[in-house]
C-alpha cells in the first residue's frame, strides 16, 4: 500500500479516464472468415504490403451478420495488427453488459464516430448519462495532528 502525508485537512483528488468497451459480439477475424488464403494474405512481408494498394473487403468478412454489399478498404496486413474482441456466447443474452449487438453500417461517419445509444447500457441513467463507478482507495494516510496545547493557542 502506498503511504503519503496529508497536511491538515488535506484533499485527495482522483482523476479517472473512462474508456467505453467497444465490444461487438458478432465480430470475427478476417483471415478466419476468408476461404482460400493466398501468399499475400499470410506473407506478412512489409516490402510486399508497402507496394500494394488498400484491399477492399465487405462487412461480411469481419462481422457474422454483416452486409456483403457494404464495402470498405483496409491496408494490406492490417489483420495481423488487429484482433477482434471475443465475447463468450454465455454473455450474449445477459443484461448489464455493454456489448454492441449490431455491426456498424457502411456509412463512414457511423463507423468512425461513437453512437452514444450503443453505450446506453453502460450508464445508470440514460437521461443524465451517469457512469456507474465503484472505487476503493487502498492507501494509508498519515496526518500530523497538533497537540492539545497548540490547538487551544491557535483558536
Return the C-alpha cell found at 13. 483528488
pLDDT of the residue at 53: 92
pTM for the structure as a whole:
0.47
| Terminal Cα distance for the chain, rounded | 35
- Let me know: does 76 contact 42? Beta carbons within 8 Å: no
Position with higher pLDDT, 51 vs 5: 51
Q: How far is CA 103 from the centre of its chain?
A: 16
Please tell me the least confidently modeled range out of 46-60, 71-85, 108-122. Answer: 108-122
- Let me know: does 79 contact 5? Beta carbons within 8 Å: no
Can you tell me the mean pLDDT for 46-57? 89
Largest CA distance in the chain: 86
Residue 64's closest CA among 84, 80, 78? Answer: 84
Amino acid at each position: 500500500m502506498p503511504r503519503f502525508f496529508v497536511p491538515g485537512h488535506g484533499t485527495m483528488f482522483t482523476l479517472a479516464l473512462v474508456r467505453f468497451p467497444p465490444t461487438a459480439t458478432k465480430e470475427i477475424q478476417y483471415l478466419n472468415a476468408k476461404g482460400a488464403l493466398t501468399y499475400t494474405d499470410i506473407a506478412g512481408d512489409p516490402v510486399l504490403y508497402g507496394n500494394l494498394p488498400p484491399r477492399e473487403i465487405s462487412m461480411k468478412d469481419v462481422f457474422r451478420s454483416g452486409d456483403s454489399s457494404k464495402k470498405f478498404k483496409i491496408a494490406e496486413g492490417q489483420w495481423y495488427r488487429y484482433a477482434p474482441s471475443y465475447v463468450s456466447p454465455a454473455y450474449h443474452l445477459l443484461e448489464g453488459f455493454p456489448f454492441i449487438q449490431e455491426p456498424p453500417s457502411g456509412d463512414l461517419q457511423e463507423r468512425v464516430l461513437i453512437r452514444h445509444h450503443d453505450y446506453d447500457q453502460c450508464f445508470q441513467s440514460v437521461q443524465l448519462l451517469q457512469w456507474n463507478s465503484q472505487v476503493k482507495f487502498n492507501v494509508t494516510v498519515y496526518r500530523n495532528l497538533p497537540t492539545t496545547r497548540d490547538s487551544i493557542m491557535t483558536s
